[in-house]
Structure formats: structure tokens, C-alpha cells
Amino acid sequence: MTSDTPRRSGLRGLGHSGPSPWTDLDRPPLDAATLRRDLVRPGGLWTSLDVVEETGSTNTDLAARAGAGAPQGAVLVAEEQNSGRGRLERQWTAPARSGLFLSLLLRPDEVPVERYGWLPILVGVAAASTLSRVAEVEVGLKWPNDLQVEIDGEERKIGGILTELSGGAVVAGLGLNVSLRAAELPVPTAASLALAGAAVTDRTTLLRALLREFAELYGEWTAAAGDPHSSGLLRAYAQRCTTLGRPVKVLLPGDRELRGEAVAVDGDGRLVVRTPDGGRQAVGAGDVVHVRPEPRQAG
């Protein structure tokens, strides 16, 4: 799922090659009962919260429920996924209980369908804000919604988001590396909260805070009929977007490439790139690579 390596997953772990995940004391199970007690309440967004030990993909499972008419607010969390999917159908697996792997069922009926594209951005903003506040790790968002931290001066990916339409609903999936160890990372561009020195890595605490933050932002967004300006979502995203103001290379569908400076995110959530000839091009889909500025030659 890492945007820097188009054909590999930046969140792929090493499965069960290490200690048995069921005896790993550093990776206790989620406290589902506490999460339900604290989050599933009359009048609130969250209507159910289920934690399963293992599944193929929480997005796939929740999409099936959506197709069967499940109400808004269902949350499905897996301790382990063996067929997780990221953007562009990239595979994603990680050791059991090493992260947060969840999907949310949303039915934003007050919002025009053309604004549904802001939902993955909303998930990203909620996650980045929560982790920065609770885990005390500064988390940024690489366009469109990769979660990043900086370790030893290098940007590393710790999470990603995938949203899908199903049965008139939106299923929003989030994967976040929490306790993944250095030996379990597949590529140097991946990381975890633990490797970034997080003050809190308890997954129950993080998930509870994340779902509360998302519910608040989602309420503001739906109340504004999904308008990214009046809801404040565009402003909040721009403040955390690590891509803006940077030289970028965008890998576009059809093996095309766009180079320039990322100067804005427009009202449709597209990345606006200023090309070397001074023109501007809005990109709605593609992999972004942050390009290091070339050192200036001495005069």
C-alpha cells in the first residue's frame, strides 16, 4: 500500500515467522467489551462493534453486511487479516494484533454522492489528529491519505485507507501499524507507531479515541452536506498534508508521469500540481512520490 513502491505493499508484514501471535505479551487482544460499552450508545454514530480474531478482509465482510441492509455505524475490527486490500488492489498483511485493521459502514444520506470522495480524507484527518494527540507522534498525510511519520529524517508510512461503495453505503477501511517491529517490516519506507517512539501503543485506547474523533468530524461533515470548505475538512487536511509545497512525481494510470510542485488540494480533493511550464494540472488518482529538491550548484 505504500505510494512509493507501486507494486509492493508498504504495510505487508511477515505473517507468523516470529513468536506465536497468541502468546506475544506485547500484543494483547483488543478489549471488545470495553469498546462497545464506551462507543455504542443510543443516538451515537456507532451502532455495533465486532472484533474477530481473523478474516480475509474487513472491507469485504462489512460490504456484504451493507449489501444485506446493515445500518450505518457498524464497525468491524480484525486482530489479523490474511487478504487485506489497499488502494489499486495491493495486498496487505501484517502479524496478528500488530496493528488496527478495521472497517466502518457509513450511509451519509445527507451528502451528495459526488462528495463521497472526501470520506477517505476524513478518515485520514481523524486518524492523524488522534495519533498526534494520543500517541504523541506527529503524523502527516501524504496525498491522498497515507499516514506518515518521520524517523531519523526519513518519511515512513504507518497506515493507509481504502473506501468502497457497497449497497448504497460506503465502507471505509483503515490499516495502521502499531507494534510492528523492525524485523517485520518488508521495506525501509514502512514503519509503526512503536518504531516512531509513540507514548501510547495500547490498541484499545487508540481505537476508542480514533472512533470518537471520527464521529465528531463525520457529524460536522454531514451537517455541511459534505462541503469540504464549510465543514472545515479541507483546511484540516491541508494543515496535515505533507505533499503540499513539495516537488512531486505523480505516477498516473497508463504508465504516465507528471512532475511539478504540489501547490493545492481543490474542492474535489484532487491534488493540484504546478508543472515546470507554469501550468496547473489537477490529479484525481495516482501514486505520488515526494522528490528531494536537487542541491543548488555553487556559483
| Residue 4 predicted with pLDDT over 50 | no
| Residue 44 predicted with pLDDT over 80 | yes
Q: What is the per-residue pLDDT for 92?
A: 56
Label residue 98 by pLDDT band (50, 70, 90): very high
| Residue 89 predicted with pLDDT over 60 | no
Q: What is the pLDDT of residues 18-27, one digit of tens each?
A: 444 444 678 9
Q: What is the per-residue pLDDT for 105?
A: 98
- pTM: predicted TM-score of the whole model, two decimal places: 0.88
> Residue 226: CB partners within 8 Å, gap ≥ 6?
108, 110, 111, 112, 115, 116, 118
For residues 139-145, give the mean pLDDT: 96
Burial of 14 (0-12, 13-18, 19+ CB in 10 A): middle
The secondary structure of residue 179, as a DSSP letter, is: S
In Å, what is the CA distance from 78 to each residue of 32, 43, 137, 157? Answer: 11, 25, 24, 20
> Residue 205: CB partners within 8 Å, gap ≥ 6?
134
Average pLDDT across the chain, whole number? 89
What is the CA angle 77-83-88, rounded to 5? 105
| Residue 141 predicted with pLDDT over 80 | yes
257, 2, 148, 152: CA torsion to nearest 10? -90
Q: What does the DSSP assignment read for 243-260? A: STTSEEEEEETTTEEEEE
For residues 123-152, give the mean pLDDT: 97
- From CA 220, how far away is CA 222, in angstroms rounded? 6
- From CA 233, how far away is CA 214, in angstroms rounded? 12
- Ordered by where they begin, the domains of the chain are 32-239 (3.30.930.10), 244-290 (2.30.30.100)
- From CA 275, how far away is CA 260, in angstroms rounded? 4
Q: What is the per-residue pLDDT for 12?
A: 33
| Residue 295 predicted with pLDDT over 70 | no
Lowest pLDDT segment from 6-15, 156-165, 229-238: 6-15
* Grid cell at residue 118: 472526501
> Residue 25: CB partners within 8 Å, gap ≥ 6?
none
For residues 103-122, give the mean pLDDT: 97
> Residue 275: CB partners within 8 Å, gap ≥ 6?
258, 259, 260, 281
